[in-house]
Amino acid sequence: MRATLFLLAAAVLAGCASDRPDSGAREPGGDGPGAHRVTPAEWRTAPAQGVVLRGGEALSVETGPHVVLWRAGQAPLEPPYTIRARMQKLHGRLHEGYGIVFGAESLEAPEAEQRYSYFLVRGDGSFLIRRRAGAEVPVVRAWTTNPSIRRDNEEGGHPNEVEVQVGADSVGFLVNGTQVARVAASELDVAGIPGVRVAHQVQLELIEFEVEAGAQDEEAAG
């Protein structure tokens, strides 16, 4: 049985930011939506400046520069594990992406010393897989369009659920339940902290964030 490490509330906030409560996040086993609500203090960001976090049933994130977020006190993970994040972009340019970070180290250090892998989607319906190795940011899979990714419209973005299934030999990448890529684990950094990444000048809500430890099915991409 997979052990759920943590889960943010799975309900999108309605209305504007001023209508959102200042504290909040639902934990596994809570008594329904709103039993526990997320607070910005539960999260760390890199960089520490230039990002605004607001709490509620979802975590509201407003960026200046691009940012990586992770749970305070999060222990590093070793494969196998799965990370899921449900996110909705409220404002930002079409080509600014958001998604999952995994295998991260040294996130509180200057960016030139950080290491992580990441999986992003963006408003034109495409995804990207990339690594940060200090000052180098090699592309693992370039921006690729996939019909499973919900596109932005004139009113903003639609919710997208992104998922990374990290196995011993390969890593599966899913959007809204559909696998869009599978990559050899040797091409990525897979041991480390999980989190999310949001591009610059974007406002979004992190509706749900879940990490599960356990074996993954390492099937060939369809």
pLDDT(220) > 60: no
Quote the DSSP letter at residue 38: B
CB atoms within 10 A of CB 25: 23
Q: What percent of the chain has pLDDT over 90?
A: 76
Q: What is the pTM of this model?
A: 0.82
Residue 186 counted as domain residue: yes
Which is higher by pLDDT, 22 or 205? Answer: 205
68 belongs to a structural domain: yes
Inside any domain, residue 218: no
Of all residues in the chain, what percent carry a pLDDT higher than 70? 79
pLDDT band at 25 (very low <50, low <70, confident <90, very high): very low
Q: What residues make up the domain containing 197?
A: 3-213
- Range 161-200 burial, b when 16+ CB lie within 10 A, else e: bbbbbbbeebbbbbbbeebbbbbebeebbbebbbbbbbbe
Dig out the tokens for 134 from the structure.
Answer: 């200090």
CATH of the domain at 73: 2.60.120.560
CA angle (176, 209, 73) in 5-degree steps: 155
**pLDDT: which is higher, 190 or 37:** 190
**pLDDT tens track for 162-195:** 999 999 999 999 999 999 999 999 999 999 999 9
Residue 9 pLDDT grade (very low, low, confident, very high; cuts 50, 70, 90): very low
Counting other chains too, the contacts that 147-154 makes at CB distance below 8 Å and 24 or more residues apart are 148/175, 148/176, 148/177, 148/178, 148/180, 149/121, 149/125, 149/175, 149/176, 149/180, 150/125, 150/176, 151/123, 151/124, 151/125, 152/89, 152/94, 152/123, 152/124
Tell me the pLDDT tens digit for each residue of 84-132.
999 999 999 999 999 999 999 999 999 999 999 999 999 999 999 999 9
| Residue 36 clears pLDDT 70, i.e. is over it | no
In a domain, 148, yes or no: yes
Between 215 and 32, the more confident residue is 215
pLDDT score, position 157: 77
User: How many domains does the chain fold into?
Assistant: 1
